[in-house]
Amino acid sequence: MSLKIALAQINFLVGNIAANVDNIIKAASYARDELSADIVVFPELTITGYPAEDLLFRADFISAANNAVYQIAECIDDIAVVVGFPERDGNSLYNSAVVLHQGSILACYRKQMLPNYGVFDEQRYFSAGTQPCVFEFNGVFIGLTICEDVWKSGIIDETKHAGAELLLTLNASPFNAGKIHQREAIICEQVKAAKIPLIYVNQVGGQDELIFDGASFVANSQGDIVFRAEEFKEQISVIEFDGNNPLINSCAPLYNKITSEYKALVLGIKDYVRKNGFQGAILGLSGGIDSALVLALAVDALGHDKVEAVLMPSRFTQDMSNEDAITQAEILKVKYHTIPITPAVNAFTDMLTEVFVGTTKDATEENIQARCRGVILMALSNKRGKLLLTTGNKSEMSVGYATLYGDMAGGFAPIKDVPKLLVYELARYRNSLYEVIPERVITRPPSAELAPDQIDTDSLPPYEILDPILERYVEMDQSAEEIMAAGFRYDDVVRAINLVDKNEYKRRQSPPGIRITSRAFGRDRRYPITSGYRGI
């Protein structure tokens, strides 16, 4: 008996149930009419989008999501539709998958493994299911599972014992560098051990901090991947089963690490702008590497006509900074303005003269410059309805080498989770396609240009030393002792850790940004501001 199963790797909008239902119906019709599919499988919590967070506490929202299931069932015939939704049963809510066929519900499964770590808070919302779910379709016994369920062997085994010959898995598995290899390796290991083929459908798209990378796949019962959808793109594909055996289709190749990171960042910007209804994006272009990369990403995401750059030189800005910024804006055909900040800085300096009598210059004066730029950029953002992109990187966010309400101002921080060394790598990667970032921007020593002849290493260890220390301390939770045992100098470790510890207050007010590592600042790393913990 042959069975055609479609994988609907779609980009949904969290919270917009009506639009998501429309998308589901369109995709199911396409799978039926164009791909001759018998079954179409959607990602986890299809109807609400993932993660809907505390929207899941709203009774009206849950009612709408539950009603939507019946609406879909009524609208689609002649194909079985497998969608995820938050299922209400009395006072409990389940993360469920339902099989709709010919106007009725053929099966419903409640997710058993609810992740509550990292970026996940599913135990805040859902009760856990307790039973496997197997349904018969065209003579094949098909088991339903959801995301975390298939990362360990328990639920897969249980579902197989309940009679399943084939597993469908609905997922919302977010991207980070290397995640796709980890995901495929772990799940295929389970599949191989259980000797059961598996269809894995993942969500695609950006949702605040998270990028869902798609890369839906099909594994045969030997644990070999016989089909893979593209990464970072919507795609509806079909794979044919001879009984429960998948006929080999095709595998989209996996991007290498740097390409996948770049594509994740582009998708993140594109979806944040689009889904939040902005007219485009603006950013401050300093002639430095961070804003150069963000400009390249923004143009790749939105098109050159949607992006606007602002040069805001001060007396500390070197000529080459302005030159390089203009060169890049011209290469990328981006509209740019030059607004020197000196008049505003002078105004504030005069206004503060009296209250600052007797004090000495310190970071305050540097922050005033950065904040004048923040005021200008926000004024343009407000007036144009364009999203202000913040250009700070993860190394800066870690050590607080940034000014609150100054260069940290903005609605979205695309490279917030990109360490400085990776900023350089991404810039070189982008230039390898064709050069859009002037070479000098990449090769000159980085500087905030807030004081005469300032360079980053006046205040920080070189990034070649700082970045690996930060990775160990921030992402891996290593202690100072462990970091020093790995060969780093006491002074560098102390300097880095102290800065991380005392700058949580800045991070708490930073805009959201795109998560590309396995531990981003944000929902992934929840630290108290008020804290007596000192890493050293």
Is residue 44 among the annotated active site residues?
yes
Could you tell me if 420 and 525 are in contact, meaning their C-beta atoms sit under 8 angstroms apart?
A: no
Nearest residue to 268 (alpha-carbon basis) of 292, 307, 300, 236: 300
Backbone angles phi, psi at 102, to 5 degrees: 50, 45
Three-class secondary structure of residue 380 per DSSP: helix
Q: What's the min distance (Å) between Cβ of 17 and a copy of itself? A: 8
Report the site for a copy of itself in 497-526 (rule: CB under 8 A): 505, 508-512, 525-526
Q: Which of 350, 453, 464, 491 binds a copy of itself (CB under 8 A)?
A: 350
Token pair listed for 312: 């805001």
* Interatomic CA distance for residues 81 and 70, integer angstroms: 12
Residue 177 neighbours by CB distance under 10 Å = 16
Q: x-or-dash pattern for a copy of itself, window 9-48, by CB under 8 A?
A: ----xxxxx-x-----------------------------
Report the site for a copy of itself in 170-229 (rule: CB under 8 A): 206-208
Q: Which of 3, 10, 24, 52 binds a copy of itself (CB under 8 A)?
A: 52
Cis peptide bond prior to 51, omega within 30° of 0: yes
Report the site for a copy of itself in 117-156 (rule: CB under 8 A): 117, 121, 123-124
Place of tokens 């045969």: 220
* Interatomic CA distance for residues 154 and 161, integer angstroms: 11
* Interatomic CA distance for residues 5 and 174, integer angstroms: 23
Nearest residue to 43 (alpha-carbon basis) of 207, 280, 161, 260: 207
Question: Number of residues in contact with a copy of itself, rule: CB under 8 A?
Answer: 84
Q: Which of 67, 182, 250, 364 binds a copy of itself (CB under 8 A)?
A: 364
Q: What's the min distance (Å) between Cβ of 80 and a copy of itself? A: 27
Report the site for a copy of itself in 403-462 (rule: CB under 8 A): 404-405, 409, 411
Q: What is the DSSP string of 269-285?
A: HHHHHHHTT-S-EEEE-
The active-site residue, picked from 87, 108, 133, 147, is 147
Nearest residue to 7 (alpha-carbon basis) of 228, 186, 205: 228
Longest dimension (CA), the chain: 88
Q: What's the min distance (Å) between Cβ of 476 and a copy of itself? A: 10
Q: Does 375 bind a copy of itself (CB under 8 A)?
A: yes
Report the site for a copy of itself in 65-124 (rule: CB under 8 A): 116-117, 121, 123-124
Task: Compare residues 46 and 220 and give the one whose CB is closer to a copy of itself.
Answer: 46
Q: x-or-dash pattern for a copy of itself, window 229-258, by CB under 8 A?
A: ------------------------------
The active-site residue, picked from 111, 263, 306, 506, is 111
Task: Compare residues 29 and 479 and give the one whose CB is closer to a copy of itself.
Answer: 479
Is residue 240 among the annotated active site residues?
no
Angle at 343 between CA 338 and CA 346, to 5 degrees: 140
Q: What's the min distance (Å) between Cβ of 98 and a copy of itself? A: 21
Report the site for a copy of itself in 310-349 (rule: CB under 8 A): 337, 339-341, 343-344, 346-348
Q: What's the min distance (Å) between Cβ of 195 and a copy of itself? A: 29
Q: What's the min distance (Å) between Cβ of 61 and a copy of itself? A: 6
Report the site for a copy of itself in 255-294 (rule: CB under 8 A): 271-272, 275-276
Q: What's the min distance (Å) between Cβ of 21 and a copy of itself? A: 12
Q: Which of 9, 260, 291, 367 binds a copy of itself (CB under 8 A)?
A: 367
Residues in contact with 182: Cβ distance below 8 Å, sequence separation at least 6, in sequence order: none
- Strand pairing report for 245-246 and 235-242: antiparallel
The active-site residue, picked from 4, 44, 133, 179, is 44
Is residue 361 among the annotated active site residues?
no
Q: What's the min distance (Å) between Cβ of 49 and a copy of itself? A: 8
* Interatomic CA distance for residues 379 and 377, integer angstroms: 5
Three-class secondary structure of residue 48 per DSSP: coil
Could you tell me if 306 and 344 are in contact, meaning their C-beta atoms sit under 8 angstroms apart?
A: no
**Hey, what amino acid is at 291?**
S
Token pair listed for 138: 């065209």
Task: Compare residues 277 and 452 and give the one whose CB is closer to a copy of itself.
Answer: 277
Please identify every residue annotated as catalytic. Answer: 44, 111, 147
